[in-house]
Amino acid sequence: MAKALRPLAGKVAAVTGGARGIGRATAAALLARGVRVAIGDIDAELAEQTAQALGPGAAGLPLDVTERASFSAFLTEAESRLGPLEIMINNAGIMPVGPFLEETDAIARRMVDINLHGVILGSKLALERFAARGSGHLVNIASIAGKSGVPHLATYVATKHAVVGLTESLRMEFGASGVSFSVVMPVGTNTELYSGLQQVRGIKTPEPEDVAEAIVEALQTGRFDVYVPRRMNATIRLGVLVPRRAADAINKLLGGDEAVTKPDRAARAAYEQRIGQTIAPATPSAPEPEVATVPANGQAGAESARPENDLQSEAEASQSEIKPPISTPASS
């Protein structure tokens, strides 16, 4: 007999990075099931707009997942407006792409800070609440990149493997606590983060709504491993069973080795510019001289000296046209 679905109506959820993309679609899907949702985002203005657009039951709040004070203030405010937190969705993430040796330390640190430490922090703050009450559901958004390797995406892939390992371990550590866990692993999804990149052959690019529905299903069933699309579960398991050379050949056949190495830079420019704005400037005492600078008019001074990859252009953004984060949370 099929297990009864867990009811969601009336619960309170928090979604990090919920102003756009997968986070926004997840907030919308939860609201449609009668869940009250706190949408936190470093783009506080957009979080507020998104909450207003999604209707009553949603609250848009400032959040920087890298700062404990900001994260704590977000959850405290969410609970005072909506009620005790029962669902935590650690979704915020960034994905700069480019050759590993051209990735600056600032970009690598920022990725680890948001994609991994932000999830660690969100997991701690949620589990403090959940464990004390003996209930709650923690959902961490990893990626199919948390189960495989992808050239030109090494640090991102490392953060996502870490999120899978973190969630696996928390599930065991809190096994008897009454808390549920899910780790979500979508393939490239149609959001700004994946703009200008290729999909693996034979897989239809999911919409953020597809990921949102998979998350809703996991909350209703308690499913831990959430692949999007679902059949990636079998693909990943098969890849582990066959010899490495065969797995490499299958990956090549599917175009997995080239999904990210040939980005459409024009299509990706807006995304790279957006995330570049939140990357900390290099300290003046430790400049990285190999990086070309961009004059105030935004044109590269010597085009021939300008590195041909996205990470580098992001480094330019971080070091020569530093703007404050899109929106600074009041508490940080």
Ligand X SMILES: NC(=O)c1ccc[n+]([C@@H]2O[C@H](COP(=O)([O-])OP(=O)(O)OC[C@H]3O[C@@H](n4cnc5c(N)ncnc54)[C@H](O)[C@@H]3O)[C@@H](O)[C@H]2O)c1
**Do residues 142 and 92 touch, judged by C-beta distance below 8 A?**
no
Closest separation in Å from C-beta 111 to ligand X: 10
* Cβ neighbours around 288 below 10 Å, total: 11
Within 13 Å of residue 128, how many CA atoms lie on the same side as its CB? 8
**x/- string (CB under 6 A) for ligand X, residues 37-56?**
----xxx-------------
Coil, strand or helix at 231: coil
* Dihedral angle of Cα 152, 158, 159, 162, to the nearest 10 degrees: 160
Question: Residue 292 or residue 311: which is nearer to ligand X going by CB?
Answer: 311
Contact window for ligand X (CB under 6 A) among 20-28, 168-176, 216-224, 239-247? 20-28
Question: Residue 48 or residue 64: which is nearer to ligand X going by CB?
Answer: 64
Pick one of 30, 73, 75, 92: the residue that binds ligand X (CB under 6 A).
Answer: 92
**Helical H segments across the chain, by residue range:** 21-32, 44-54, 68-82, 105-111, 118-133, 154-173, 208-221, 232-241, 244-254, 265-276, 310-320
Closest separation in Å from C-beta 134 to ligand X: 28
Closest separation in Å from C-beta 130 to ligand X: 21
Asked if 62 interacts with ligand X (CB under 6 A), we say no
Coil, strand or helix at 58: strand
**Do residues 134 and 156 touch, judged by C-beta distance below 8 A?**
no
Is 156 considered catalytic here? yes
Question: Residue 18 or residue 292: which is nearer to ligand X going by CB?
Answer: 18
Question: Residue 136 or residue 276: which is nearer to ligand X going by CB?
Answer: 276
Q: Which residues 6+ apart lie within 8 Å of 129 measured at CB?
A: 75, 84, 85, 136
Question: Residue 210 or residue 292: which is nearer to ligand X going by CB?
Answer: 210
Q: What does the alpha-carbon distance between residue 210 and residue 231 come to, in Å, rounded to a whole number?
A: 13
Asked if 166 interacts with ligand X (CB under 6 A), we say no
Pick one of 30, 75, 114, 183: the residue that binds ligand X (CB under 6 A).
Answer: 114
- Name the one residue in this structure whose structure tokens are 């703050």: 125
Q: What does the alpha-carbon distance between residue 328 and residue 280 come to, in Å, rounded to a whole number?
A: 13
Q: What does the alpha-carbon distance between residue 255 and residue 60 come to, in Å, rounded to a whole number?
A: 39
How far from the centroid of its chain's Cα atoms is residue 210's Cα?
15
**Do residues 49 and 233 touch, judged by C-beta distance below 8 A?**
no
Binding to ligand X, residues 194-223 (CB under 6 A): 194
Pick one of 180, 191, 312, 318: the residue that binds ligand X (CB under 6 A).
Answer: 191
Our CA angle for 12, 326, 159, nearest 5°, is: 65
Closest separation in Å from C-beta 140 to ligand X: 9
Contact window for ligand X (CB under 6 A) among 17-25, 171-179, 235-243, 308-316? 17-25
**x/- string (CB under 6 A) for ligand X, residues 222-261?**
----------------------------------------
**x/- string (CB under 6 A) for ligand X, residues 271-310?**
-------x--------------------------------
Asked if 21 interacts with ligand X (CB under 6 A), we say yes
The residues annotated as belonging to the active site are 156
Q: Which residues bind ligand X (CB under 6 A)?
A: 16-17, 19-23, 41-43, 63-66, 91-95, 114, 141, 143, 186, 188-189, 191-194, 278
